[in-house]
């Protein structure tokens, strides 16, 4: 897929500096340490990595919820770091954010209607009646009822609250929506439902969706491209299918390796990485992954690899990207667990039945060669 | 979507009042407070002797039919003085707390919201005020402003203000770390709307509780100021000044202290129950 770029990050860094102790220097946590990204209009871009690798910090940097230490983010070619406070606030109607925890990200003192109306009200979109119609419409759209508008968030379940969060993010008609682990706080049985709603709305509104996640099944299911993050840096970027078919970075391989094979008695060669994520206060020299990499040699300890193009939009930051014969994941191994796959399918089918406008979209998504089934 | 009529939002209903009505203790508190307010307002209409009328034939008399709550050391009717004193005491309690909240909460929220040097300045001044004991500060301010009930209320209000600054600042700092505040920023909500819709409603409960407790302190403080001649000017009554005089006659005429004491106790209890009820009624979470 080729897209015009909508959001670009160049040399993005965010270092958290602690207060200087009495003796010695302050500690610096390099949460995001030099990230370059180009996200195309209309694509679904996933950022994956283990806990503490800087995914959430990156997500917040992309919409300038926190200020970068270095580097720029450009939205439609304009540096958003240069914007005045007011201009940035106005821009937020187009750049929205979905939070991870639906239990803490909704103001408990506002009704659901007021929460969803707030983006419209803040940006002065529509009259009072138009706004109330818009709220009612988006509520039905995310599978809630208009009469839910005068209730408070605590009266809803986790899945419903996350749908309220989604409605709040989408009501102002944004162009880019960033989801910071939008489903990881939800029960597995609810995840499929929320993901399907997100996909529906993405297609209906023509959104560019950036999803932060650590669940590979979710990423496999919904994204066009994936970036793999390790310790504040991107180690591999690739179209989703290529990444799952032939990972080029040993870390990606290890991540994929961790997906269980849903077949009784199946065994695979064990290359799972050991140990914990190194301390981001003192990242390892050379390649940051060398401490845990089964293929590491001396060069890896001294020289830091850069992202190299491997063709077809596939990039990896490994000295041996392309040369290394990584264990490829057999296509059969890529599928979600049968139970999860069934849930996604049943839910999609049900939605296609109830909403005829949607059938055309689900068929368009069908074109993607799915490895499962 | 187009075939179906646009869905309509229902009308919002007021649940705070519904919830308030369901709570017996809140209603009791409200009733007590309203009762005393009515007494204070209706004092001129009630069939009691004047609060400053002396009866030298009935000095320090125990409660009787003529004087249901007894008489004081110069033969004034205790019931009448309590009824007339309700005005001064309620005003001293409520108005001074309103002054303290009106000044303290905005300053505290500002300090917690802006942080940095704004916070440093406000916090240091607050700490300096807190270093002086509450009553000493009130006395100094009242003496500076000149003796009158109004000035006493202002002095008490300013002395009680640091507590509210500290409370509001601490609560604001804690609310600011909540995800929902970040979600408001992600939407582009401006500073004033953020403070109005997100911070104030969420820091409100502890402030209500502190406010009702401070009403009690303020009533007592007014008594102390009256005793020093800085509050309600004698011979006009207030509960606090009655208590202060009565303590000299505790053995000979206990009723002089008993009834104003009960009145202060009841008013404080009433405000506490009312405050708790308000806090719960305005919290959408518990039903």
Residues on chain B bordering chain A, Cβ-to-Cβ distance under 8 angstroms? 1, 6-13, 178-180, 182-190, 193, 197-198, 201-202, 284-285
**pLDDT above 60 (res A336):** no
> Which of chain B's residues have a Cβ under 8 Å away from the Cβ of A133?
6-9
Pick from A122, A118, A16, A3: which is nearest to A61 by CA?
A: A16
Compute the mean pLDDT over every residue in chain B, rounded to the nearest whole number.
Answer: 85
| CA–CA distance, B195 with B200 (Å, rounded to integer) | 6
Asked whether the beta carbons of A283 and A30 are under 8 A apart, the reply is yes
Phi then psi dihedrals of residue A201, to 5 deg: -70, -35
How large is the average pLDDT for residues A299-305?
87
> Which of chain A's residues have a Cβ under 8 Å away from the Cβ of B10?
146-147, 149-150
What three-state secondary structure class fits B237?
Answer: coil
User: Among A11-20, A71-80, A138-147, whose mean pLDDT is lowest?
Assistant: A11-20
Phi/psi zone of residue B111: left (φ > 0), alpha (ψ -120 to 50 degrees), beta?
alpha
Phi then psi dihedrals of residue B233, to 5 deg: -85, 130
Tell me the pTM. 0.80
Asked if the Cβ–Cβ distance from B284 to A149 is below 8 Å, we say no
Q: What angle do CA B216, B219, B220 make, to 5 degrees?
A: 90
Domains identified in chain B and CATH numbers: 23-42+69-282 (1.10.3720.10)
Pick from A315, A170, A259, A218: which is nearest to B186 by CA?
A: A170
Q: What is the pLDDT of residues A107-120, one digit of tens each?
A: 998 999 999 999 99
Chain B CA closest to residue A113: B9
Q: What is the pLDDT of residues A107-153, one digit of tens each?
A: 998 999 999 999 999 998 889 999 999 999 999 988 899 988 988 99
Phi then psi dihedrals of residue A52, to 5 deg: 85, 10
| Number of C-beta neighbours around residue A340 at 10 A | 20
| Per-residue pLDDT band at B170 (split at 50, 70, 90) | very high
Q: What is the pLDDT of residues A169-203, one digit of tens each?
A: 999 989 999 999 888 888 887 888 888 888 888 88
Q: Does domain A5-223 have CATH number 3.30.465.10?
A: no
User: Among A293-307, A347-361, B54-68, B246-260, whose mean pLDDT is lowest?
Assistant: A347-361
* Residues in a beta bridge with A210: A45, A178
Chain B CA closest to residue A119: B187
**pLDDT above 70 (res A313):** yes
| CA–CA distance, A336 with A372 (Å, rounded to integer) | 7
**pLDDT above 60 (res A335):** no
A138: buried, middle or exposed (CB in 10 Å: 19+, 13-18, 0-12)?
Answer: buried
| Per-residue pLDDT band at A366 (split at 50, 70, 90) | very low
Percent of chain A scoring above 90 in pLDDT: 28
Q: What is the pLDDT of residue A270?
A: 55
Q: What is the pLDDT of residues B47-86, one digit of tens each?
A: 777 777 777 777 777 777 777 787 877 778 888 888 888 8
Q: At what angle do helices B15-22 and B24-42 cross, to 10 degrees?
A: 90
**pLDDT above 80 (res A334):** no
| Number of C-beta neighbours around residue B65 at 10 A | 5
Q: Which tokens sit at A179? A: 């989801």
| CA–CA distance, B199 with B205 (Å, rounded to integer) | 12
Residue whose structure tokens are 């909403």: A355
Chain A nearest-CA distance from B47, in A, is 48
| Per-residue pLDDT band at A2 (split at 50, 70, 90) | low
- Domain extents in chain A: 5-223
Distance of CA B233 to the CA centre of its chain: 21
| Cα–Cα separations (whole angstroms), residue B207 to B109, B123, B227 | 12, 18, 30
Asked whether the beta carbons of B33 and B274 are under 8 A apart, the reply is yes
Pick from B31, B196, B51, B182: which is nearest to A165 by CA?
A: B182
Asked whether the bond before A299 is cis by omega within 30 degrees of 0, the reply is no
Asked if the Cβ–Cβ distance from B180 to A118 is below 8 Å, we say no
């Amino acid at each position: 897929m080729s897209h015009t770029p909508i959001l670009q990050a160049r040399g993005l860094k965010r270092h958290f500096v602690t207060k200087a102790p009495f003796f010695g220097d302050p500690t610096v946590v390099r949460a995001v340490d030099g990230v370059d990204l180009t996200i195309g209009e209309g694509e679904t871009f996933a950022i994956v990595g283990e806990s503490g690798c800087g995914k959430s910090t990156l997500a917040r940097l992309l919409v300038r919820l926190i200020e970068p230490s270095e580097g720029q983010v450009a939205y439609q070619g304009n540096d958003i770091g240069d914007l005045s406070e007011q201009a940035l606030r106005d821009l937020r109607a187009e750049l929205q954010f979905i939070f991870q925890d639906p239990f803490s990200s909704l103001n408990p003192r506002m009704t659901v209607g007021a929460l969803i109306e707030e983006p419209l009200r803040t940006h002065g979109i529509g009259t009072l009646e138009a706004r109330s119609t818009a709220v009612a419409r988006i509520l039905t759209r995310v599978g809630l009822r208009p009469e839910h508008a005068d209730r408070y968030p605590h009266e809803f379940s986790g899945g419903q609250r996350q749908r309220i969060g989604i409605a709040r993010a989408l009501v102002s008609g944004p162009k880019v929506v960033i989801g910071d682990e939008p489903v990881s706080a939800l029960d597995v049985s609810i995840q499929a439902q929320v993901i399907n709603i997100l996909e529906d709305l993405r297609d209906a509104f023509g959104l560019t969706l950036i999803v932060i996640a650590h669940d590979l099944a979710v990423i496999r299911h919904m994204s066009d491209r994936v970036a793999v993050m390790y310790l504040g840096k991107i180690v591999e970027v690739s179209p989703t299918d290529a990444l799952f078919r032939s990972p080029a970075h040993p870390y990606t391989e290890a991540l994929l390796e961790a997906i269980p094979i849903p077949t009784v008695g199946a065994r695979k060669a064990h290359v799972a990485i050991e140990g914990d994520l190194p301390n981001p206060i003192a990242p390892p020299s050379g390649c940051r992954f060398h401490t845990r990499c089964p293929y590491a040699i001396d060069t890896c300890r001294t020289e830091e690899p850069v992202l190299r193009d491997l063709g077809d939009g596939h990039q990896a930051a490994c000295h041996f990207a392309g040369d290394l014969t990584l264990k490829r994941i057999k296509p059969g191994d890529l599928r979600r667990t049968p139970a999860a796959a069934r849930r996604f399918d049943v839910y999609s089918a049900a939605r296609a039945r109830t909403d005829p406008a949607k059938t055309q979209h689900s068929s368009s998504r069908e074109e993607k060669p799915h490895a499962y089934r | 979507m187009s075939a179906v009529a646009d869905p309509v939002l229902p009308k919002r209903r007021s649940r705070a009042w519904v919830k308030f009505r369901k709570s017996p203790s809140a209603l009791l508190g409200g009733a007590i407070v309203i009762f005393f307010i009515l007494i204070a307002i209706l004092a001129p209409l009630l069939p009691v002797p004047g609060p400053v009328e002396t009866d030298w034939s009935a000095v320090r008399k125990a409660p009787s039919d003529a004087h249901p709550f007894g008489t004081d050391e110069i033969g004034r009717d205790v019931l009448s003085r309590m009824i007339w004193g309700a005005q001064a005491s309620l005003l001293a309690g409520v108005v001074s707390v309103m002054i303290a909240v009106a000044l303290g909460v905005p300053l505290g929220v500002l300090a917690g919201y802006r942080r940095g040097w704004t916070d440093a300045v406000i916090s240091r001044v607050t700490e300096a005020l807190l270093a002086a004991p509450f009553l000493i500060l009130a006395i100094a301010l009242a003496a500076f402003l000149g003796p009158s009930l109004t000035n006493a209320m202002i002095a008490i209000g300013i002395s009680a203000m640091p507590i509210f600054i500290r409370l509001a600042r601490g609560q604001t700092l804690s609310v600011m770390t909540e995800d929902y505040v970040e979600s408001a920023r992600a939407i582009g909500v401006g500073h004033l709307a953020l403070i109005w819709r997100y911070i104030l409603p969420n820091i409100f409960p502890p402030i209500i509780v502190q406010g009702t407790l401070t009403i009690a302190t303020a009533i007592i403080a007014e008594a102390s100021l009256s005793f020093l001649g800085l509050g309600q000017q004698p011979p006009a009554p207030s509960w606090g000044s009655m208590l202060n005089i009565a303590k000299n006659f505790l053995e000979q005429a206990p009723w002089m202290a008993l009834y104003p004491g009960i009145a202060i106790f009841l008013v404080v209890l009433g405000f506490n129950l009312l405050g708790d009820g308000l806090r719960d009624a305005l919290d959408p979470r518990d039903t």
